[in-house]
Amino acid sequence: MIIFHIALIAVLTAVACALLGVFLVQRKMSLMSDAISHSVLPGIVVALLLVDSLHSPWLILGASLSGILMVFLVETINRTGLVKEDAAMGLVFPALFSLGVILVSQGLENVHFHESTVLVGDIALSALDQARVGGQAIGPKSLYVMASVLLLDLLFVLLFFKELKITTFDPDLAATFGFRPGLMHYLFMGLVSITAVAAFDAVGSILVIALMIAPASAAYLLTDNLAKMLAISALLAALSALFGFFAATWANASPSGSMAMSTGLAFLLAYLFAPGRGMLAQRRVRLRNRRRFSLQILLVHISNHSDTSREGAENSRATLPQHIRLSERFLDELVRLALRQGLLTEREGVLHLTEQGQALAHRRVVQDARLDVEL
């Protein structure tokens, strides 16, 4: 049963982070998840000083407010125009994190924060921490917390999908239509703070950042449709969490670290093999464009020397490498391609344009002439 609870907590955490991660990636605010995970410390410490309990829900509220304060300070500095947003984040979150460290050292000398729990978390311990009603255990606390956070995230995305979409891609247009991009921004970032803090408590800061950014970035490579991007991001995050957890169980490794690696692997696969934007697909496009351009150059060369005294010397298949600066192997491949497509014919070793080849060469000449005029 404990294995099932751990896997379920992992999936709930992964999906909750991935849904909001899509909008962070689209808003070019990926580093905000890292900044928030560092900036929540003073809020946790202040709440702990007030309630004197490590298990109080006020700690989540305090951490969330600290995250919102970080977002507000970053936006305030950025609006001055003197400092860019990434630099503003680099200024604000170390300051808040340092403030939290000072508060810990001054007011919580007897409270121990273990560095491994802060960085990589311990999802197994989260599953062992049971919620109780009337003295009866009803399941892990993290399970209920992350289920509630996921439900909150889903409701927010569904209810404000149109507002999130327009304020993400064109905030100026959103303001023209009567939306309030500033308010939507703070509501969204407040939700990011709550989600990050809840997930941070369950799985640690490294996995929170990985789950918010890697699945969303992979989904961005796979589709341009925002709704599909949300679904793909959630699916990749859930599968990565499950794969990482069971791989860690098999290898006796850190579950959170293994899940973070799995999200990176999912992104790597999308980066390499995504149909439209993957590296291999882009390489195929570049090779196809190079072949098409080189073929046009070949046809123009043959057209320029057809029916001239130098036709035999210039358009001979054997002498082409001397006149066109392409490798002999690549040029031979282009000639064979042109012959197969009916753009060229070969008679006694000399290449001649067909009507189709002449039309394609003429089109290239016209394009070059238009370019000269524009230049």
Of the pLDDT bands very low, low, confident and very high (cuts 50, 70, 90), residue 86 is confident
Per-position DSSP letters for 25-59, written without gaps between them: HHTT-THHHHHHHHHTHHHHHHHHHHH--TT-THH
Residue 307: how many other CB atoms lie within 10 Å:
7
Mean pLDDT along residues 321-329: 85
**More confident position, 206 or 224:** 224
pLDDT digits (tens, 9 = 90+) for 97-111: 788 777 777 666 555
Over pLDDT 90: what percentage of the chain?
22
**More confident position, 346 or 116:** 346
pLDDT of residue 238: 95
Beta bridge partners of 350: 316, 347
pLDDT of residue 375: 30
Mean pLDDT for the chain overall:
82
CA 263, CA 266: separation in Å to the nearest integer? 5
pLDDT of residue 149: 92
pLDDT of residue 52: 72
Mean pLDDT along residues 60-64: 79
pLDDT of residue 213: 92
pLDDT of residue 7: 86
Mean pLDDT along residues 59-72: 81
Q: Which among 31, 98, 104 is positioned nearest to 71, based on CA atoms? A: 31
pLDDT of residue 226: 94
pLDDT of residue 139: 77
CA 374, CA 296: separation in Å to the nearest integer? 21
Of the pLDDT bands very low, low, confident and very high (cuts 50, 70, 90), residue 155 is very high
pLDDT of residue 119: 45
Sorted by where each starts, the structural domains of the chain and their CATH numbers stand as 2-275 (1.10.3470.10), 281-374 (1.10.10.10)
**More confident position, 130 or 365:** 130
> Mean pLDDT lowest for which of 33-37, 202-206, 289-293, 311-315?
202-206
Q: Is the pLDDT of residue 79 over 90?
A: no
pLDDT of residue 107: 60
SS3 at position 352:
strand
pLDDT digits (tens, 9 = 90+) for 255-294: 878 888 999 999 999 999 998 888 999 999 998 888 888 8
> Quick one: 63 exposed, middle or buried, by C-beta within 10 A (0-12, 13-18, 19+)?
buried
Mean pLDDT along residues 71-88: 82
Q: Is the pLDDT of residue 373 over 60?
A: no
Give this prediction's pTM: 0.81
pLDDT of residue 367: 59
Cα dihedral sign for 217, 265, 206, 196? Answer: positive
Contacts of 85 (CB under 8 A, 6+ apart): 29, 74, 78
**More confident position, 53 or 347:** 347
pLDDT of residue 110: 58
pLDDT digits (tens, 9 = 90+) for 114-151: 444 444 456 766 767 777 777 777 778 888 888 999 99
pLDDT digits (tens, 9 = 90+) for 218-254: 999 999 999 999 999 999 999 999 999 899 888 888 7
**More confident position, 371 or 279:** 279
